[in-house]
Amino acid sequence: MNLHDWIDELCDALDVEIDLDEALILDVARDAAHNVARPAAPITTFLLGYAAAKSDGDPDEIERLASAAQDLALRWDKPAEVLEHEDDDPEVEEELASADA
C-alpha cells in the first residue's frame, strides 16, 4: 500500500471527501518536526486540519493557514522540551506510594 492508497482508505474510513495537497501537509509536518520537536508534527497537522474545517475547506484559506503554520515553525527558536508523561508526575507517584502503604 502506498501513501495515496492510505489517504483514499483513510478518507473513506473518516467519511470525508477532500482534494488533499499532500506535499503541502508533509512540508508543514516536516518543518514542525525539525524546527520545533518531533511530536509537533502530528499536533500541527491536526490543528491545521481543524482550522481548515472551520474555513469550510476553502483551498485558498487552507494554503494561507498552512503557510502561517510553516512560517511559525521555521521561525521557531525555542529549545525543544522533553515532554513528561503523566505517569512520571511526582505528585501521582507520591499518591500511589501512600495508597500502597
The residue extents of the domains of the chain are 18-79
Mean pLDDT value across the chain: 87
Tell the residue number behind the cell numbers 514542525, with chain if given: 32
Distances (CA, A) of 32 to 27, 80, 97: 9, 11, 38
The pLDDT confidence band at residue 98, using thresholds 50, 70 and 90, is confident
Tell the residue number behind the cell numbers 525539525, with chain if given: 34
Give the pLDDT confidence of 19-70 residue by residue, as tens digits.
Answer: 889 999 999 999 999 999 999 999 999 999 999 999 998 889 999 999 999 9
- pLDDT surpasses 90 at 101: no
Grid cell for residue 91: 505528585
Give the pLDDT confidence of 17-30 residue by residue, as tens digits.
Answer: 888 899 999 999 99
Q: What is the largest CA-CA distance in the chain?
A: 60
Residue count (the chain): 101
Find out whether 28 and 45 touch, Cβ atoms under 8 Å.
yes
Grid cell for residue 52: 481548515
Grid cell for residue 53: 474545517
Distances (CA, A) of 35 to 20, 92, 94: 24, 32, 36
